[in-house]
């Protein structure tokens, strides 16, 4: 047991250093706080199964909620259950991962399922976001854009069909975008996943965000459809009629039921809050009455990562991290692997198909210097989204291996 705990603490010290925690006192405190909850006697990693949901924040395998998942043997699928490949996984995509036990911040993924929050035409563009199918989408400094939208928000215009990955923030009443992709080809149907804000059973309509959806002829209508429930709608591309109703073709799975799982990590926003013992994160019920809290105040709309055990349909939390927007940005992205290409002037490198800038003030090198960079050299990079170019990252730390 002592050896296991020593190994676990060492792993946490290594990851803490990767994120810039430098002092010995801070490292020891961090390890003492988190190691018992990550595979050394409690929380994630205590049993034989694991589950995580949240945005992809790194590669070299797949990194979600700071957990490194070996996806080499994982089945990858989209939100409709269609088989996909590992190459389809992109930074900022929101995913669910089934795995074996999560220990020392690592696990082997059995299945990776990615799904967007809304797919449809841009209806308007705002100063800090845009509207798609009546859903207000907020863009911030952590939002990743695909190559067709390199300029980020200014590249968007009305009528463009986009697919948005993100987490619903009930405090703002908006979707916080983690990734935005432009669809070059018109889809056969639009999609939206969100919380039912209003329901008229006699008229067979429901409201999500500012949009009204008619489901009178829809397939697979849930028997327990109600206000406050997360739903996933497949919607006709036909423009709304005179009453402003989008036609729902069918209901799809918004949240699959989870079996009892020993290690669970969920990142999202608090979308319902009564007390620490009764809240919901991304629609999942959470009992955090016995949890250790880190960061800010737990409240409606708070950005959180919750770690614990799933039992009888409830996440029994052992740890809740409340994250500010600034902390989330500085946490950034983590990429590992061999350098694929290096600019002649040393200003950028390519890693995992992503361009990473090397000119940010304060960039730190570990185990070497910029002069040691070369194609094929294994590196670990912590980076943030580059201002003005949502497809590129700017390195904060480059560790040579």
Cβ–Cβ < 8 Å for 184, 162: no
β-partners of residue 181 are 163
Using the structure block, give the residue that is written with the tokens 């990693």. 45
Cβ–Cβ < 8 Å for 95, 63: no
**Residues listed for the chain:** 401
Is there a single domain that holds both residue 236 and residue 355?
no
Q: Say which DSSP state 43 is in.
A: B
* Overall average pLDDT of the 378-395 stretch: 93
Q: What is the pLDDT of residue 69?
A: 97
Q: Say which DSSP state 348 is in.
A: E
Whether 44 shows a pLDDT value over 70: the answer reads no
Whether 358 shows a pLDDT value over 70: the answer reads yes
Whether 118 shows a pLDDT value over 60: the answer reads yes
pLDDT digits over 246-262, tens only? 999 999 998 888 999 99
Whether 286 shows a pLDDT value over 50: the answer reads yes
Whether 14 shows a pLDDT value over 70: the answer reads no
Is there a single domain that holds both residue 133 and residue 248?
yes
Q: Say which DSSP state 94 is in.
A: E
Q: Which position has the higher pLDDT, 27 or 186? A: 186
Is there a single domain that holds both residue 225 and residue 237?
yes
Is there a single domain that holds both residue 106 and residue 154?
no
Q: Can you tell me the distance from the alpha carbon of 169 to that of 154, in angstroms, rounded to the nearest whole number?
A: 23
- 371: domain CATH number is 2.40.50.320
Quote the distance between the C-alpha of residue 266 and its chain's center.
9
The structural domain count of the chain equals: 3
The whole-chain average pLDDT of the chain stands at 88
Q: What is the pLDDT of residue 6?
A: 40
Q: Which residues contact 323 (CB under 8 A, 6 or more apart)?
A: 295, 296, 303, 304, 305, 331
Indicate the range of 1-15, 41-55, 270-284 predicted with least confidence: 1-15
pLDDT category of residue 28 using cuts at 50, 70 and 90:
very low
What's the domain range around 28?
2-115+258-326
List the beta strands (DSSP E) in 202-329: 205-208, 211-214, 230-235, 245-252, 261-275, 278-281, 284-287, 292-295, 303-311, 314-323
pLDDT digits over 169-214, tens only? 988 889 999 999 999 999 999 999 999 999 999 999 999 999 999 9
Whether 217 shows a pLDDT value over 60: the answer reads yes
* Overall average pLDDT of the 375-400 stretch: 94
* Overall average pLDDT of the 46-65 stretch: 90
Is there a single domain that holds both residue 181 and residue 247?
yes
pLDDT category of residue 343 using cuts at 50, 70 and 90:
very high
* Overall average pLDDT of the 283-311 stretch: 94
**Final residue in a domain of this structure, among 224, 252, 280:** 252
Is there a single domain that holds both residue 216 and residue 130?
yes
**Final residue in a domain of this structure, among 326, 357, 385:** 326
**Final residue in a domain of this structure, among 252, 272, 292:** 252
Whether 288 shows a pLDDT value over 70: the answer reads yes
Whether 283 shows a pLDDT value over 80: the answer reads yes
């Amino acid at each position: 047991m002592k050896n296991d705990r020593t190994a676990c603490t060492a792993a946490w010290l290594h990851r803490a250093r990767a994120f810039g925690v430098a002092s010995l006192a801070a490292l020891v405190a961090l390890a003492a706080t988190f190691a018992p909850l990550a595979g050394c006697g409690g929380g994630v990693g205590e049993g034989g199964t694991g589950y995580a949901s949240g945005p992809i924040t790194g590669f070299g395998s797949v990194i979600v909620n700071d957990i490194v998942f070996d996806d080499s043997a994982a089945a990858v699928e989209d939100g409709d259950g269609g088989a996909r490949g590992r190459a389809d996984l992109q930074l900022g995509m929101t995913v669910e991962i089934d795995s074996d036990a999560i220990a020392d911040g690592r696990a082997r993924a059995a299945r990776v399922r990615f799904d967007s929050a809304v797919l449809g035409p841009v209806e308007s563009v705002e100063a800090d976001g845009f509207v798609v199918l009546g859903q207000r989408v907020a863009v911030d400094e952590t939002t990743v854009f695909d190559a067709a939208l390199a300029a980020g928000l200014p590249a968007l215009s009305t009528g463009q069909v986009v697919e948005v990955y993100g987490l619903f923030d009930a405090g703002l009443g908006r979707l916080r975008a983690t990734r935005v992709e432009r669809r070059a080809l018109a889809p056969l149907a639009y999609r939206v996943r969100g919380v039912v804000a209003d329901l008229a059973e006699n008229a067979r309509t429901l409201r999500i965000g500012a949009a009204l959806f008619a489901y009178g002829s829809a397939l697979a209508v849930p028997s327990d459809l109600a206000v406050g429930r997360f739903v996933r709608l497949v919607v006709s591309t036909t423009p709304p009629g005179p009453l402003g109703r989008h036609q729902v073709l069918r209901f799809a799975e918004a949240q699959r039921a989870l079996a009892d799982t020993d290690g669970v990590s969920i990142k999202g926003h608090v979308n319902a809050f009564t007390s620490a013992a009764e809240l919901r994160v991304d629609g999942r019920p959470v009992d955090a009455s016995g949890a250790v809290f880190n960061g800010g105040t737990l409240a409606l709309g708070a950005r959180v990562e919750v770690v614990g055990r799933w039992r009888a349909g409830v996440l029994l939390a052992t740890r809740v991290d409340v994250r500010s927007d600034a902390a989330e940005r500085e946490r950034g992205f983590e990429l590992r692997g061999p350098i694929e290409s290096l600019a002649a002037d040393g200003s950028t490198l390519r890693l995992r198909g992503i361009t990473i800038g090397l000119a940010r003030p304060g960039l730190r090198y570990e185990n070497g210097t910029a002069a040691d960079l070369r194609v094929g050299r294994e590196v670990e990079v912590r980076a943030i989204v580059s201002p003005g170019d949502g497809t590129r990252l700017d390195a904060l730390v480059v560790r040579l291996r």
